[in-house]
Amino acid sequence: MPNPKLTERFAVRLLACAGLGAAGVLAFAPFGLFWLAPPVWLGLLLLLRRAADVRQAALYGFVFGLGFFLCGVSWVYVSLSVFGGMPWWLAGFAAFLFCTVLALFPALAAAVFKRWQPAADWRQAPFFAALVAGSDWLRSWIFTGFPWLAAGYAQTPPSPLAGFAPLIGVHGLSLLAVLSGTLLLCRWRGALVVGAVLLAGFALRQVAWTMPDGEPITVALIQGNVPQEMKFRPETLIRTLDLYHELVAAHPAQLTLLPETALPIFFEQLPPAYVEALKAAVASHGGDLILGTLTGDNTHYWNSALSLGRSPLQIYSKTHLVPFGEMIPPGFSWFMQLATIPMSSFERGPEQQPPLEVAGRRVAVNICYEDAFGEEIIAALPQAGILANLSNTAWFGRSLAQPQHLQIARLRALESGRPMLRATNTGITAVIAPNGTVVAQLPPFTQGVLQAEVTAYQGLTPYARFGNGPALTLMLLLLAAAIHRRRA
């Protein structure tokens, strides 16, 4: 018969794991409690040290992951139920299943930690940190990848660790964020190391890895705030087209950006007179326009960005598609029949696409979810001097998705040493400086135009040169050292 005290203690630890996971979300936007991340990971490590065996440790990691992802990314329910037309119970089950799959990654890290747990505290700390960061990296590419809420994303400015982003990227930040908590196991020696890391990060934030290239240009980022439930209705098409033409014409700039699928119709089907009117509105003052729309036909179509204006017409088509939202994974056509998500089977754009040459600058466009993949963004460097993200997170309603997505974009600016322009349908439209700070932004769920001056940048950060290689190498070295010393 099980000991009641042991059973009660086990239940308390499971609740503690779930609570720590939920608290971990507070480290990210919009809450911004970046300093909370290290103690959260330290708390999980302390619980894993008390786990009886590998199976129990995996369960602790899994419950932690459930608390983390159910609180952090359950906004997928909104897209499936409110805008996807799926029955609430099925949408809830699908969202829970999605978070369950994501929770397997911290469960894996916890199980591996327990299986090869070093004896000494000073070995456990880096071993666990490398496992957590490694599981985040694994999550960023397996099954096409979902790197949302990787631990490093919480460390945008004003976090001192943000200074390391241009060197080792978001996954390197994940390693340092977890390490900053777990090293406190080593008492004053660990505290000294953490203090040195924080001071180094603060010093690195003062380093300019890239430099301005040319004079500033004026930009106008348009936030149409078109309700998602109305966006693809035929009866609202003319109203949407008129809205964007009016906003473009009323806010002249050298470079104007419209959001993802701002014109919810195939570009080839747009009235020629409307296309000419848009082109004339920006070309009359020597400007260019980048707009989000669909290209192709009813059989083969792409989520694209096109340029109109003074420069020749150029097209960028989205390469990294969102599973279920933009592409149907093999064997899941039945699932999509239960939802009414328009245009849910896009073609992938070409792997190699040059930056758009507009407004006398080279602009690397990425569409919505693509800016979550750092190594894909730096593929356009050093040619591109400006990054531009066209997005439509109206699919997720008034949830954490908007501020979380803005925080992801801030990391991309830091890693690349380039300004990032974000033109979104419902928010958050913003201008981000190369150092990751938000220069200006529009309130979400409002209609407006963000006007600013932006300077292109040249040069390469260490991360832009080497990608995730240095961070992954450091993780492997820490893992190998811990396992080797344990066996010695």
Q: State the pairing for strand pair 288-296/263-266.
A: parallel
CA distances from 342 to 76, 323, 324, 426 (A): 16, 14, 11, 18
pLDDT attached to residue 362? 97
The residue type at 450: L
The domains located in the chain, with CATH, are 4-207+471-487 (no CATH), 212-460 (3.60.110.10)
Coil, helix or strand for 312? Answer: coil
Indicate if 260 belongs to the active site. Answer: yes
Q: Indicate whether 176 pLDDT > 90.
A: yes
Handedness of CA 112, 478, 476, 172 (dihedral sign): positive
Active-site residue, selected from the candidate residues 99, 260, 279, 370: 260
What are the residues facing 305 on neighbouring strands? Answer: 292, 316
Q: DSSP assignment of 355-392, as one string?
A: PEEETTEEEEEEEGGGGG-HHHHGGGTTT-SEEEEEE-
Indicate if 186 belongs to the active site. Answer: no
pTM metric for this prediction: 0.92
Instruction: Give the residue carrying structure tokens 């799926």.
Output: 86
CA distance 390 to 409: 11
Q: Do 220 and 250 contact (CB within 8 A), yes or no?
A: no
CA distance 432 to 401: 18
Q: Residue 86: left (phi > 0), alpha (psi -120 to 50), or beta?
A: beta
Two tokens, residue 148? 């949302």
Q: What is the mean pLDDT of residues 156-184?
A: 97
Q: How confident is the model at residue 423 (pLDDT cuts 50, 70, 90)?
A: very high
pLDDT attached to residue 3? 64
Q: Indicate whether 342 pLDDT > 60.
A: no
**Nearest Cα to Cα of residue 428 among 457, 458, 398:** 398
Q: Indicate whether 290 pLDDT > 90.
A: yes
Q: How confident is the model at residue 329 (pLDDT cuts 50, 70, 90)?
A: low
CA distances from 273 to 186, 241, 267, 304, 462 (A): 70, 12, 12, 21, 47
Q: Indicate whether 471 pLDDT > 70.
A: yes
- Reported as a single tens digit per residue, the pLDDT across 67-114 is 999 999 988 888 787 766 778 888 889 899 999 999 999 999 999 999
Q: Do 431 and 440 contact (CB within 8 A), yes or no?
A: yes
Cis peptide before 428 (omega within 30 of 0): yes
Q: Do 248 and 451 contact (CB within 8 A), yes or no?
A: no
Active-site residue, selected from the candidate residues 186, 368, 370, 415: 368
Residue spans of beta strands (DSSP E) within 272-371:
288-296, 301-309, 315-317, 356-358, 361-367
Q: How confident is the model at residue 231 (pLDDT cuts 50, 70, 90)?
A: low
88-91's contacts with Cβ under 8 Å and 24+ in sequence apart are: 90/338
- Reported as a single tens digit per residue, the pLDDT across 378-415 is 999 999 999 999 999 887 888 899 999 999 999 999 99
Indicate if 318 belongs to the active site. Answer: yes
Other Cβ atoms closer than 10 A to 248: 24
Active-site residue, selected from the candidate residues 114, 231, 279, 318: 318
**Nearest Cα to Cα of residue 412 among 370, 446, 382, 383:** 370
Q: Indicate whether 1 pLDDT > 60.
A: no
Q: Mention every residue, 6+ apart, whose C-beta is less than 8 A from residue 250.
A: 449
Q: State the pairing for strand pair 457-458/211-212.
A: antiparallel
pLDDT attached to residue 45? 97
